[in-house]
Amino acid sequence: MMKYSLWSLLFCTSLLLSDVLATYHLSAVDPQVVAAQSYAQTRNNGRPPTRTLNPAKTDSQCRSRLLDLVFIIDSSRSVRPGEFEKVKIFLADMVDTLDVGPDATRVAVVNYASTVKIEFLLKDHFNKPDMKKAISRIGPLAAGTMTGLAIKSAMNEAFTEQSGARPRSGNISKVAIIVTDGRPQDQVEEVSASARASGIEIYAVGVDRADMRSLRLMASIPLDDHVFYVETYGVIEKLTSKFRETLCGLDSCATGHECEHVCVNSNVSYYCKCRASYILNADMKTCSLKQVKVEVVAVDPCKCESRLAFQKQTQAAIQQLTAKLADVSGRIERLENAVGRA
């Protein structure tokens, strides 16, 4: 009876094990397979959901310095469709960080491959939802990497007053952000230098296989502040916070400062300077007039020193004669008195 019960238990256990294996599609209980599946399941559970561009959603805005901002994005064949969508999400995130408006920051997008297409101009959209809808409609051009042509087109077409750029007299910063994952198939050094000379500040963002030398030829100086690199398009969103620090810094001088003469904005704060002929004091706020050391060179063309020495000698001689005269006068007076008594 006990033997029969034992066999029954073993039989039931085998059936239960078969059901378990069938449920998880395992042909054998392999610890490595189980561990791999557990890791994959854990990784998938911890992975954030895939982001999509939502034009209606807006993020908290910063008080960015006034910008005419043009994005120049590479959509050549090397940028796969899923990667290009991440570039568009990056653009939308950047729009969210900015203070967008006709009297604030204006944004344009230049799309390029072997040809250049201006997706929208600085004058086209002045609110975030419309701007993000326009970004969501951008499609890849799919061939070539004519980065120099794209920079030239941005300079000659996107940054013009006819396209919505503010006059130079308005002191509005002109900024271009280039995003590329390849090596330019044309020359970028000369056209980039012309763009910078015209007052355009260039940031170069390289992804994956991007040519670092070309990025450095395009970017403004200091290069450490204007050249960025990320390994994949999947992490390009990390740059949003970096650009937020750069483009969304508060105008510290405008919001209040303690400089006696001149306030100069820096990326995170401000520092004080003094006007010409003044120096900054130890408190780094107030100014003092520079001390001018005057060295007097003795010049005696009229021999005044010799005359003064002669005068001193004469005065001494007169004093001696006066003393002798007084002595003689005293003797005479005493002699006369003696004679009178006699």
The CATH number for 263's domain is 2.10.25.10
123 plus 93 within the same structural domain: yes
- State the pLDDT at residue 41: 35
Contacts of 122 (CB under 8 A, 6+ apart): 68, 70, 106, 107, 108, 158, 159, 163, 164, 165
Among residues 230, 202, 197, the alpha carbon closest in space to that of 216 is found at 202
- State the pLDDT at residue 253: 62
pLDDT per position as a tens digit, 213-261? 999 999 999 999 999 999 999 888 888 888 887 776 545 565 557 888 8
Structure tokens at 68: 């005419």
Residue 173 inside a domain? The answer is: yes
- State the pLDDT at residue 56: 52
**How sure is the predictor about 207, in pLDDT bands with cuts at 50, 70 and 90?**
very high
- State the pLDDT at residue 251: 53
Question: Is the pLDDT higher at 109 or at 267?
Answer: 109
% of residues, the chain, pLDDT over 70: 72
Alpha helices, DSSP H, located in the chain: 2-23, 31-46, 81-97, 128-136, 147-153, 189-197, 212-218, 223-226, 239-247, 252-255, 304-341
d(CA 264, CA 253): 7
126 plus 261 within the same structural domain: no
The radius of gyration computed from the CA coordinates of the chain, to the nearest angstrom, equals 44
% of residues, the chain, pLDDT over 90: 43
163 plus 275 within the same structural domain: no
Residue 282 inside a domain? The answer is: yes
Domain boundary among 220, 249, 278: 249
- State the pLDDT at residue 341: 65
- State the pLDDT at residue 4: 47
- Domain membership of residue 259 as a residue range: 253-289
285 plus 163 within the same structural domain: no
**How sure is the predictor about 338, in pLDDT bands with cuts at 50, 70 and 90?**
confident
98 plus 213 within the same structural domain: yes
Mean pLDDT throughout 44-58? Answer: 48
Residue 82 inside a domain? The answer is: yes
Q: Give this prediction's pTM.
A: 0.59
Residue 174 inside a domain? The answer is: yes
pLDDT per position as a tens digit, 277-313? 888 998 888 998 887 665 555 555 566 677 777 777 8
The DSSP string of 71-84 is EEEE-STTS-HHHH
155 plus 271 within the same structural domain: no
Residue 109 inside a domain? The answer is: yes
d(CA 203, CA 209): 18
